[in-house]
Amino acid sequence: MTKTLFDPTAAVGYFFNKFLFGGVLVTVGLTVAAVVGGLLFGMVIAQMRMSNHRALSGVARFYIWFFRGTPLLIQLVVIYVGLPQFGLKFSVITCALVGLILNEAAYLAEVIRSGFLAVPPGQSEAAWALGLPKSTTLRRVTLPQAFRLMIPPLGNSINSLLKATSLASVISVEELMRRSDVLMQEHFQVLEVYGAATVYYLLLTSAWDVVQGRLEKHFGRSTVAVTSKAMPKGALVADAAR
C-alpha cells in the first residue's frame, strides 16, 4: 500500500541529514560568491551605463536588456552546454557561478545606477569645487550616500538570488535543491524531503532579513543625525574633504 500521509518524524530526520546540510553550504557559497561578483561587475556595468560615451552606454544597455530579459535557467544551460563547443570546458560549479554572476550583475547594475542618480548632484559639484579628486569624491561623498539608498533593493535582489541558486540543479550542481531531489528519488518521500528543504530556505532568507534590517538601521543613523541637526547643504562634502 502506497504511503501518502506526511511523516513529520521523517521530515525532521531529513532536516538533520548531513547530505542535505552539505547542499545548504553549497547554496550559501553560491549566493555569497554571486553577490560579491555581481556587485563588482555590476558596478562596472553601472558606470558604463551612466557614461556619456555612447558606445560604452550602448554596450551596458544591451547587456542589461539581454540578461534581464532571458531566463536564468536558459543562461545556465547555454553556459554549461554551449561553452564546451568553443573549447571552454569548466566544472559545474564554475558554470553555475559564471551564470549567476552575469545574471545578478545585470540587476545590481540598475540598483547601483539608481542609487547614484538619487544622490543630489550638488554633492559632487561641491566636492569638485573643494578640489577633491574624482576617486575621493566617489569613495567619500557619492558612494556612502548612494549605498544607503541601495540597501533595500539590494537586499531584495540578494533574497531572490538565494532562492534562484536552486536553478543550478539543472546542470547537476549539488546545492540544496539537487540534493533534495536525490534524497526524494532514493526514499520516495516527496513532502518530507521538500518540507525540510523549505525550512532551510526560510531560515536562510530570514537570516538575511535580519542582516538587511541591521544594515538599514546602521546606515540610516547618519540620515537621522543630519535631519535632526539641520545640516546645511554640502556639509557632507566638507566633512569628506577634511
Q: What is the pLDDT of residue 96?
A: 96
Give the Cα separation of 90 and 98 in Å (integer).
10
In which residue ranges of the chain is pLDDT below 50?
1, 224-233, 235-236, 238-242
- pTM for the model: 0.84
Q: What is the pLDDT of residue 241?
A: 47
Q: Are the C-beta atoms of residues 115 and 147 closer than 8 Å to each other?
A: yes
Give the Cα separation of 42 and 48 in Å (integer).
10
The architecture CATH gives domain 8-241: Orthogonal Bundle (1.10)
Residue type, 191: L
Give the Cα separation of 69 and 202 in Å (integer).
27
Q: What is the pLDDT of residue 119?
A: 81
Q: What is the pLDDT of residue 88?
A: 86
Neighbours of 97 (CB within 10 A): 20
Q: What is the pLDDT of residue 220?
A: 73
Q: Are the C-beta atoms of residues 106 and 68 closer than 8 Å to each other?
A: yes
What is the tens place of the pLDDT at every residue in 2-18? 555 888 899 999 999 99
What is the tens place of the pLDDT at every residue in 149-195? 888 899 899 999 999 999 999 999 999 999 999 999 998 899 999 99
CA nearest neighbour of 64 among 31, 118, 111, 119:
111
Q: What is the pLDDT of residue 219?
A: 79
Cα–Cα distance list, 126 to 51, 159, 176, 211 (Å): 20, 36, 50, 33
Residue type, 26: V
